[in-house]
Structure 1
Amino acid sequence: MLSDPSPIRPAFRLGVFPVRLAHFPGEYEIVRSVGQCFEGDSMPRSARSFPVRLGITLMATTLALAACGEREPTATEAGATLKTHILKLLKEVNAQNIQITDPGGKDIPCGDDKFKRTFAAIGQDLAPERTASGLNEMMLSALKRVAEYDLVSIGKPDDVGDPMEMVSKPSKTSLILQSSIDGQYSVRGETQCLNRL
């Protein structure tokens, strides 16, 4: 606990506001009353206490980090990422005879001068008798080795193969694991609505 301060003495004037310093033995000088922003370098160096300097430094660092935050990908960049994720996913489950069913590459308008891109592909499983839902579950497991995706929904009970929707916040992409034919993987995806450039 701080000891009683010595008598308050005028330190300097700031515009029309007097600024007084209270002195505590062994402690930094504490500004007792402050009017407006200090003009120029009128504040005594001794009054620029460590807590004040530390606060200014932390504030400047926070603003710098915010300014240097990660840039949101464009629709083109996210579309390229989407294509990579889908093809890598099919490779992870060892799909054969991969065929691209939606090559994407087109900017699809979605309002507010934003655009999205799509991509889709299918591939054959080594075991043609494997059920569609089993294939979707295999892709779900393999996706962890491809990129960071979260499961957000599973298809309705009457949907063939129990399609699963996955979303990746970092890459601004989403996937639908939608195998509906035994022995055939099927996955499609799209980006979020993003700037074209």
Structure 2
Amino acid sequence: MTGARLCLAAMTAFTLVAGCGGGGDPGPSAAQAGETLKTHITQLMTKADLRDFDVTDPGGKDVPCGDEGTKRTYGVKSTFRMDQEVLIAELVGTLKDVWGYKVDHVVVPYQGKTVLKLASARTTVTLDLPETDVLTVTGETDCVADGT
């Protein structure tokens, strides 16, 4: 084998071994993602000057999901006194600009129910206006296999 071919073979073998090593970041556990979710939602409410909110779902518990997986949840509720479209736009903008969330879908157009995801953190946040001057922000983590 010539030197160039030997070098190419060695590089190919190294690439295959390195690529199969499984050394990639598995991402956060459900507990870690749950803490991130709680932090993001709490800071979101503070940034939007909605400091007087009630925690409707304190989270902190593993919720069984999928095939031997768990997820975490967290939720808050607040009243507000501003145009609801402006509020939702501000909240969506903060989630996107500060943490990098992406709009997953708008469930109810023109009524404020919007779902955003942050894949790297394994979190989903739902903004909803279930009644006049009432905002709910709920979140859940992805279903994470135990041990991940």
Query: What TM-score results when the alignment is normalised by the length of structure 2?
Result: 0.83
- Secondary structure of 1:87's partner? helix
Structure-2 change in CA distance of 1:131 and 1:182 (3 Å):
farther
Higher Cα radius of gyration: 1
Q: Which structure features the higher share of strand residues?
A: 2
Aligned pair in 2 of structure 1 residues 182, 196: CA closer, same or farther (>3 Å)? same
1:56 is paired with a residue whose SS is helix
How far did 1:193 drift?
Answer: 0.8
Q: 1:133 to 1:180 in 2, by over 3 A?
A: farther
Q: Select the structure with the greater relative contact order (CA < 8 A; seq sep ≥ 6).
A: 2
Map of 2:127 onto structure 1 = 177
Aligned match of 1:155: 107
The 2-side partners of 1:54 and 1:64 are apart by: 15
Q: 1:87 aligns with which of 39, 42, 65?
A: 42
Moved over 4 A (4+): 181-184
What is the aligned partner in structure 2 of residue 142 from structure 1? 94
CA distance in 1, matches of 2:40, 2:13: 39
The alignment-based identity, stated in percent, is 29
- Return the letter of the residue paired with 1:141: G
| TM-score of the superposed pair, with normalisation by structure 1 | 0.64
Q: Is the 8 A contact 2:96 2:102 kept in 1?
A: no
Structure 1 counterpart SS, 2:52:
strand
Structure 1 or 2: more helix by fraction: 2
Work out the CA distance in 1 between the residues paired with 2:97 and 2:48: 11
**Number of matched pairs:** 146
